[in-house]
Chain A
């Protein structure tokens, strides 16, 4: 399958700071990227969908000013958690899909801990 690389895999940040997570498609052009959040022992909840070159579409209940998503190129999307708080601690995972392809391939995920 296609390769999606997510970085960093783990990050610890202080409350009030911002942290950026990168999601890269290494061997295909990702026309659509998705960002999910997963709480311990729970399912993946879609946060937002982004298409290259356009603004992200956020799911209901997700604060777009807090979770900034940028999909500036066909191989890179970033999620910035702004003014992080301990309740933002979670596992964030991205997926990417190419044009005309049904499967979305997932990154390795990022475990964010806000202290």
Chain B
């Protein structure tokens, strides 16, 4: 069984602050993929990143960075110098080998509000 936990339901930060969104996952698969998606108020899901379970290197893309720690089964997402446009719901997700990578399990999402 797969499970993704995003303990933070809602976070509010003031613009330009850094913010970290937590994601903890559970899976019996040794091979799996982790994802982050952004869902702005308009509703569509925007793909942000995919990480293979064998690749524990952290990644930085502009103001976004991701910290993958296999030892703690966490895949946290940090936004540096947050902006109002970052306001959205962010979902962490997992897809494992046992499901043929077909089934993606989503966390419950973290709603981020960036206050100007």
A54 within 8 A of B: no
A49 x B44 contact (CB < 8 A): no
B71 within 8 A of A: no
B17-68 contacts to A, CB under 8 A, are: 33, 35, 37, 42-47, 50
A2 to chain B, nearest CB (A): 9
Known contacts A43-B108, A49-B103, A106-B37; is A93 also within 8 Å of B45 by CB?
Answer: yes
**Distance of A95 Cα from B46 Cα, bound (Å):** 11
A54 to chain B, nearest CB (A): 13
User: Which residue of chain A is the closest to B4 with respect to CB atoms?
Assistant: A43
User: Which residue of chain B is the closest to A4 with respect to CB atoms?
Assistant: B44
- Interface size class on chain B is 20 to 34
B43 x A103 contact (CB < 8 A): no
B77 within 8 A of A: no
A1 to chain B, nearest CB (A): 6
User: Which residue of chain B is the closest to A104 with respect to CB atoms?
Assistant: B104
B109 x A43 contact (CB < 8 A): yes
A42 x B44 contact (CB < 8 A): no
**Distance of A104 Cα from B44 Cα, bound (Å):** 13
Known contacts A44-B91, A102-B33; is A49 also within 8 Å of B102 by CB?
Answer: yes
B36 to chain A, nearest CB (A): 11
B11 to chain A, nearest CB (A): 14
Instruction: Return the contact of A111 from the options B37, B43, B104, B106 (Cβ within 8 A).
Output: B43
9 contacts between A and B (CB under 8 A): A9-B43, A32-B102, A34-B102, A34-B104, A43-B91, A49-B102, A106-B37, A106-B47, A107-B44
Contacts A32-B102, A49-B103 supplied; 14 other A-B pairs, CB < 8 Å = A42-B109, A43-B91, A44-B45, A44-B106, A46-B103, A93-B43, A93-B44, A93-B45, A95-B104, A103-B35, A103-B47, A106-B46, A108-B43, A109-B43
Q: Kindly list the 9 A-B residue pairs having the minimum CB-CB distance in the complex, ordered from nearest.
A: A106-B45, A109-B43, A108-B44, A43-B108, A43-B106, A44-B106, A49-B102, A1-B47, A103-B47
